[in-house]
């Protein structure tokens, strides 16, 4: 018998990193007897190794709990959401699968940038918010201040705020009651054709893709032929189940419920987060709203240090892609680094995670080039092209308008640092939007800024200026025209493709000079003077010279000592293996790395 919808509650926990979301999720498992204390590994829901190591939630792990309240048994579906900005879209899809959200705030740290961003996402999705203060067991907790911040920043009624300790379980009874009493039961009808929201998925070696769904209307059963409405692909369902928290089979899932299904789906590419699954024979008229194609925003080149590892790297990337459809890659060749791949990521954290997985899983030494963002170029012939790297930029003569991605960045910081951060934002071509004091000591600051400036080092700068007390969050708002140029690097008159970068014209000279300085330190002297130049089209904006070598290297070894000479020659030959000939100049591989690797 399916649970009547009025006895179902679907909710998630939204919080800033480290405010205790996973610990609270564990308390729900304990409280409902889903897991016993002894069975519970610490933080059962954070299952991926990498997450455990980094202590952050990357993927969402749903769990179905049963809890008796007021003499009735309720089905509670808890959906854990990622807390990082890179995974914004995934957060928004998991919110769409719920009717309510627990907004968890650390009673010491207070409201942070991601708390605000995620709370607004939940409010936009019309979720019932249950504001909760966590870590009230901490001696340094300052509940009254934090509640005042919540009221100021998020218009939360102080009377509604619950106080818990996810660590000790204090306040859990009140929280369970609030989930049941305050969050509305799901709407939707079993009589309607099936509509299920795909809010996540993972790849299982034996079962194929496991699709995580929230059933909005209708029913989902084994043997049913279903259709993904965006792609039109059809599959026959082989298994339906719930997460308890392990995958547990059941007969069917009905309107209002949360669970998973498998259907011998071989690749995650067929399963898009946000897509709608319907019955192939009796399809729904309209898919569910809000679908977005996941778009990588940050790109960088990934090269094996040893070119023989290229095929291994290709295989490793293909395996990763099976598990993460938001990551993209395509082969590219660079003058300096040889064969490699241009990879697309959702953001900087996503990029770091992928690199770590690759290194761990395939034991290949990798070089990552400095990250760049995606650009749009309106050409004089009226076409718009998307550019993922400097090598794709057409000739200046063909460019009508160069556009870059802009994000809205929100900072939450100690009031005393506001001047320094505003200066930083101005230097990074930011446009001031607004500022708001949450208390005399904490302020929210909003800027619009090019994404390229944000990924460069904004986060590190924020942390160092605010001594770790500032937080930030950003969302993509669109492409805007800017005075961007492709800056080329010439070694003795020869353009080196691998070293080109896209920069704002006002910064071209400074960036050019910095690159040339690094190059100069890496390239040995030659018998002639080597000119290093940075150029925009044919205009040189910066120049460095490497003075010529005055004497032959072996000259100082006198004529007679042939063994020493041989040794020297052998050593030179060894070094030359990794030298790249550019025109008449030999450039060591390290020079490319020094310039391309992120500072």
Ligand X SMILES: Nc1nc2c(ncn2[C@@H]2O[C@H](COP(=O)(O)OP(=O)(O)OP(=O)(O)O)[C@@H](O)[C@H]2O)c(=O)[nH]1
Binding residues: 18-23, 134-137
Q: Is 165 in the site for ligand X (CB under 6 A)?
A: yes
- 268 to 297, contacts with ligand X by CB under 6 A? none
Report the nearest approach of ligand X to the CB of residue 20 (Å): 3
Name the segment binding ligand X (CB under 6 A); options: 135-143, 189-197, 482-490, 493-501. 135-143
For residues 583, 589, 590, 591, the Cα torsion angle rounded to the nearest 10 degrees is 20
Q: Is 112 in the site for ligand X (CB under 6 A)?
A: no
- 478 to 507, contacts with ligand X by CB under 6 A? none
d(Cα 162, Cα 284) in Å, to the nearest integer? 40
Name the segment binding ligand X (CB under 6 A); options: 159-167, 262-270, 332-340, 545-553. 159-167
Q: Is 88 in the site for ligand X (CB under 6 A)?
A: no
Which residue has tokens 């996941």?
Answer: 294
Binding residue (CB under 6 A) for ligand X from 138, 280, 514, 579: 138
Q: Are 109 and 20 in contact (CB under 8 A)?
A: no
Name the segment binding ligand X (CB under 6 A); options: 49-57, 86-94, 369-377, 502-510. 49-57
d(Cα 186, Cα 210) in Å, to the nearest integer? 23
Nearer to ligand X, 103 or 591 (CB): 103
Nearer to ligand X, 163 or 321 (CB): 163
Binding residue (CB under 6 A) for ligand X from 96, 122, 147, 166: 166
Q: Is 17 in the site for ligand X (CB under 6 A)?
A: yes
Binding residue (CB under 6 A) for ligand X from 167, 314, 463, 526: 167
Report the nearest approach of ligand X to the CB of residue 124 (Å): 21
Q: Are 255 and 192 in contact (CB under 8 A)?
A: yes
Phi, psi (deg, nearest 5) at residue 486: -95, 125
Which residue has tokens 């990029």?
Answer: 351
Q: Is 23 in the site for ligand X (CB under 6 A)?
A: yes
Task: With both helix axes pointing from N to C terminus, report the angle between 310-323 and 348-362 in degrees, rounded to the nearest 10.
Answer: 120
Q: Is 134 in the site for ligand X (CB under 6 A)?
A: yes
Give CB contacts under 8 A, 24+ apart, made by 546-555. 546/520, 549/525
Chain mean position to CA 103:
22
Q: Is 19 in the site for ligand X (CB under 6 A)?
A: yes
Q: Is 352 in the site for ligand X (CB under 6 A)?
A: no
| Cα–Cα nearest to 417, from 445, 454, 438, 448 | 445
Region of 169 on the Ramachandran plot (φ > 0 left; ψ -120 to 50 alpha; else beta): left
Binding-site annotation, residues for GTP:
18-23, 134-137
Q: Is 27 in the site for ligand X (CB under 6 A)?
A: no
Q: Is 20 in the site for ligand X (CB under 6 A)?
A: yes
Binding residue (CB under 6 A) for ligand X from 14, 56, 489, 532: 56
Would you say the C-alpha torsion 408, 413, 418, 420 has a positive or negative sign?
negative
Chain mean position to CA 533:
35
Nearer to ligand X, 54 or 319 (CB): 54
SS3 assignment for 437-502: ECCCCEEEEEEEEEHHHHHHHHHHHHHHHCCCCCEEEEEEEEEEECCEEEEEEEECCEECHHHCEE
Report the nearest approach of ligand X to the CB of residue 354 (Å): 18
Name the segment binding ligand X (CB under 6 A); options: 12-20, 250-258, 556-564, 573-581. 12-20
Summarize as ranges the residues that interact with ligand X (CB under 6 A).
15, 17-23, 55-57, 83, 134-135, 137-138, 165-167
């Amino acid at each position: 018998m399916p649970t009547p919808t009025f006895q179902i509650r679907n909710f998630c926990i939204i919080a800033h990193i480290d405010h205790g979301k996973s610990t609270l999720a564990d308390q729900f498992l304990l409280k409902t007897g889903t897991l016993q204390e002894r069975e519970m590994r610490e933080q059962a829901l954070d299952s991926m190794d990498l997450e455990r190591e980094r202590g952050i939630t990357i993927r969402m792990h749903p769990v179905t709990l049963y809890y008796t309240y007021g003499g009735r048994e309720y089905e509670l579906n808890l959906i854990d959401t990622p807390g990082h900005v890179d995974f914004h879209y995934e957060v928004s899809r998991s919110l769409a699968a719920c009717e309510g959200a627990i907004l968890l705030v650390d009673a010491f740290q207070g409201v942070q940038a991601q708390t605000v961003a995620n709370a607004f996402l939940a409010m936009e999705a019309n979720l019932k918010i249950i504001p909760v203060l966590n870590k009230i067991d901490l001696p340094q907790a300052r509940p009254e201040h934090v509640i005042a911040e919540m009221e100021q920043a998020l218009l939360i009624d102080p009377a509604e705020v619950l106080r818990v300790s996810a660590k000790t379980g204090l306040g859990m009874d009140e929280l369970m009651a609030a989930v049941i009493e305050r969050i509305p039961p799901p709407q939707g009808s079993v009589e309607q054709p099936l509509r299920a929201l795909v809010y996540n998925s993972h790849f299982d070696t034996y079962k194929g893709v496991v699709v995580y769904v929230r059933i909005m209307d209708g029913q989902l059963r084994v043997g049913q032929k279903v259709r993904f409405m965006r792609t039109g692909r059809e599959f026959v369902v082989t298994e339906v189940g719930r997460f308890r928290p392990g995958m547990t089979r059941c007969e069917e899932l009905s309107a209002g419920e949360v669970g998973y299904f498998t259907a011998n789906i071989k690749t995650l590419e067929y399963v898009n987060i946000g897509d709608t699954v319907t019955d192939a024979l009796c399809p729904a008229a309209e898919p569910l709203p809000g679908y977005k194609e996941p778009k990588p925003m940050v790109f960088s080149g990934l090269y094996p240090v040893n070119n023989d590892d290229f095929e291994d790297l290709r295989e490793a990337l293909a395996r990763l892609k099976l598990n993460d459809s938001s990551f993209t890659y395509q082969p590219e060749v660079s003058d300096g680094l040889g064969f490699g791949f241009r990879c697309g990521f959702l953001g900087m954290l996503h990029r770091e995670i992928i690199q770590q997985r690759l290194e761990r899983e395939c034991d290949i030494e990798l070089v990552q080039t400095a990250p760049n963002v995606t650009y749009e170029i309106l050409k004089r012939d009226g076409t718009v092209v998307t550019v993922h790297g400097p090598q794709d930029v057409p000739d200046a003569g063909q460019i009508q308008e160069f556009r870059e991605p802009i994000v809205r960045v929100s900072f939450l910081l100690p009031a005393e640092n506001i001047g320094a951060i505003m200066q930083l934002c101005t230097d990074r071509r930011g446009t001031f939007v607004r500022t708001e004091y949450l208390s005399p000591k904490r302020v929210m600051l909003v800027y619009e800024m090019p994404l390229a400036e944000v990924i460069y080092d904004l986060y590190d700068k924020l942390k160092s200026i605010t001594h770790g007390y500032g937080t930030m969050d950003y969302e993509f708002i669109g492409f805007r025209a800017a005075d961007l140029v492709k800056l080329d690097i010439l070694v003795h008159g020869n353009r080196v493709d691998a070293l080109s970068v896209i920069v704002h014209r006002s910064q071209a000279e400074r960036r050019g000079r910095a690159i040339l300085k690094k190059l100069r330190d890496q390239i040995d002297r030659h018998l002639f003077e080597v000119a290093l130049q940075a150029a925009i089209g044919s205009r040189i904006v910066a120049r460095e010279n490497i003075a010529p070598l005055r004497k032959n290297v072996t000259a100082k070894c006198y004529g007679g000592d042939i063994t020493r000479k041989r040794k020297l020659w052998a050593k030179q030959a060894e070094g030359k293996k990794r030298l790249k000939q550019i025109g008449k100049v030999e450039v060591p591989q390290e020079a490319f790395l020094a310039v391309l690797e992120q500072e």
